[in-house]
Amino acid sequence: MKHPNGFTTRIVHSDRRSTVEHGSLHKPIHATVAYGYEDARELAAVFQGKQPGYTYGRQVNPTIEALQTKLDGMEDGIATVCFGTGMAAIGTTLFALLRAGDHMVSSSFLFGNTNSLFNTFDSHGIDVSFADATDVAAVAASITPATKLVFVETIANPRTQVSALQEIGELCQQRGLIYVVDNTMTSPYLFQPKSVGASLVVNSLTKYIGGHGNALGGAVTETGLFDWASFSNIYPEYQGGPAAKWGITQIKKKGLRDFGAALGPEAAHHIAIGSETLALRMTQQSRNAQAMCELLDAHPSVSQVYYPGLPAHPQHARAQQLFRHPGALFSFELRDDVDIWDFMGKLDVVVKSSNLGDNRTLAIPVAHTIYYEMGPERRASMGIADSLIRISVGIEDTQDLLDDLAAALG
Ligand SMILES: *Cc1c(COP(=O)(O)O)cnc(C)c1O
């Protein structure tokens, strides 16, 4: 078939671009760990990379390869590696590339578990500086002679700060730094980090790409924009072939081997099916989010709404310029005289749950759950009020969500 260009067309016809067993319309689930060969010389050739083929399931499986090809299409990448979770994708990628004594700059507005991981790095000899990534000057001021890499998210959770994605991309290019963008909150349908110069794109497949809250997964995609020949941490055995692929080869061959956080074929299948409706879901979810935020913004019981789709959001213009829609996650604060437990108790359609990126709308009282462990002082410094509620917006009919909010607010 010819190469179709539409985002969804590419995903749903991706498997057919190469021969699928028996003409199956879905890449089958290959529930196998190892692969047998008639001739041991063939097995050796596959091991030595002289012949394509499969060896052991920790690094390679046909079902997962099909998903990796889909992700390349979504992110306009040249190679993707999948992992068992989004955290495994981030941890393995950075551990495979950085060494003791290296320094990296990270956004200070991070998914909580990523923040925890980067604090762990410190005790393993990799220095991390946290900077306000909405401001390129703050990132630039954190760079040292030992800096190898900059890591940012697109839209932060829960307060929805939007990083200076374009400007940080230019900075990384000038300084020869690896630019890693966690695209989970926007998904490749709303934004392609390659367009701002990212060399590695991380996605938690658990969230919008899988979309149904039924499988965990993660991925890192190489865009081909970084010259890995200029990077001193690539081991000689991964320096074969085009330099654009050296980094992702080291992540796959060394990172996946050393840490073993492989994605399973059943989860890969769930995620591949889910990804077919990514564009449809994100469009409806963003539309719902905008309508809910407009209702809340105008309501006397609500004191603050954080959503890049609202004109008062500090990075509204940036979000409008970079993203197809402003996303499907927002947060808001209730006025002091409104009881948060009373409000949440009255929600009926909206589920009280911690995940995000599900088809169902989910709400969580942030300070009392995911940010509870860090204590009141850290919370205050991060702008997490006691009444802050995060909403991950689903695909329900808009009016049902608006009615649910209005009824709970009384
Ligand atoms: C959820 C999430 C992750 C981690 O993904 P898991 O699949 O839960 O491990 C990483 N980054 C962001 C922005 C996320 O929302």
pLDDT of residue 3: 59
Distance 308 CA to ligand 1 centre (A): 20
Q: Are 369 and 344 in contact (CB under 8 A)?
A: no
> In whole angstroms, how far apart are CA 251 and each of 45, 93, 200, 223, 254?
22, 6, 11, 14, 6
Of 8, 49, 15, whose CA–CA distance to 29 is shortest? 15
Q: Name the residue of 94, 162, 184 to mutate for ligand 1: max ligand atoms within 8 A of Cβ.
A: 184
For the chain, give me the number of helices (H) and strands (E)? 16, 12
Distance 288 CA to ligand 1 centre (A): 22
Distance 156 CA to ligand 1 centre (A): 11
pLDDT grade, residue 276 (50/70/90)?
very high
Helix axes 398-409, 278-297, angle to 10 degrees: 30
Q: Residue 206: CB within 6 Å of ligand 1?
A: yes
Q: Mean pLDDT across the chain, nearest whole number?
A: 96
Distance 386 CA to ligand 1 centre (A): 23
Q: Are 186 and 163 in contact (CB under 8 A)?
A: no
pLDDT in tens, 364-376: 999 999 999 889 9
Which residue owns the Cα nearest ligand 1 atom 6?
Answer: 86
Q: Name the residue of 113, 202, 259 to mutate for ligand 1: max ligand atoms within 8 A of Cβ.
A: 113
Q: Residue 246: CB within 6 Å of ligand 1?
A: no
Strands 329-334 and 388-392: what pairing? Answer: antiparallel
- Eight-state DSSP code of residue 78: S
pLDDT of residue 2: 57
Helix axes 112-122, 86-97, angle to 10 degrees: 30
Strands 218-222 and 79-83: what pairing? Answer: antiparallel
Tokens 């299948």 belong to: 269
Atom of ligand 1 minimally distant from the CA of 357 = 15
Q: Are 323 and 308 in contact (CB under 8 A)?
A: yes
Structure tokens at 39: 């001739």
pLDDT in tens, 129-161: 999 999 999 999 999 999 999 999 999 999 999
pLDDT at 66 over 80: yes
Beta bridge partners, 162, equal 155
Q: Residue 114: CB within 6 Å of ligand 1?
A: yes
pLDDT at 77 over 60: yes
Distance CA 313, CA 10 (A): 34
Atom of ligand 1 minimally distant from the CA of 216 = 7
Distance 90 CA to ligand 1 centre (A): 9
CATH assignment, 7-30+61-275 = 3.40.640.10
Distance 266 CA to ligand 1 centre (A): 19
- Least confident range of 10-24, 271-285, 338-352, 396-410: 10-24
pLDDT of residue 4: 63
Domain 278-409 bears CATH identifier 2.160.10.10: no
Distance 192 CA to ligand 1 centre (A): 17
Q: Are 185 and 325 in contact (CB under 8 A)?
A: no
Q: Residue 204: CB within 6 Å of ligand 1?
A: yes
Which residue owns the Cα nearest ligand 1 atom 1?
Answer: 204
The whole-number average pLDDT for the span 54-59 is 91
Amino acid present at 111? F
Domain map (residue ranges) of the chain:
7-30+61-275, 278-409
Torsion of CA 91, 163, 159, 315, to 10 degrees: -170
> In whole angstroms, how far apart are CA 221 and each of 75, 107, 324, 330?
7, 20, 20, 26
Q: Residue 158: CB within 6 Å of ligand 1?
A: no
Amino acid present at 62? P
What is the pTM assigned to this prediction? 0.97
Distance 184 CA to ligand 1 centre (A): 7
pLDDT at 209 over 70: yes
pLDDT in tens, 4-32: 689 999 999 999 888 899 999 999 999 99
> In whole angstroms, how far apart are CA 25 and each of 15, 17, 80, 157?
7, 11, 22, 36
Distance 83 CA to ligand 1 centre (A): 12
The CB-side HSE value for 18 (13 A sphere, CA atoms) comes to 8
Distance CA 168, CA 152 (A): 9
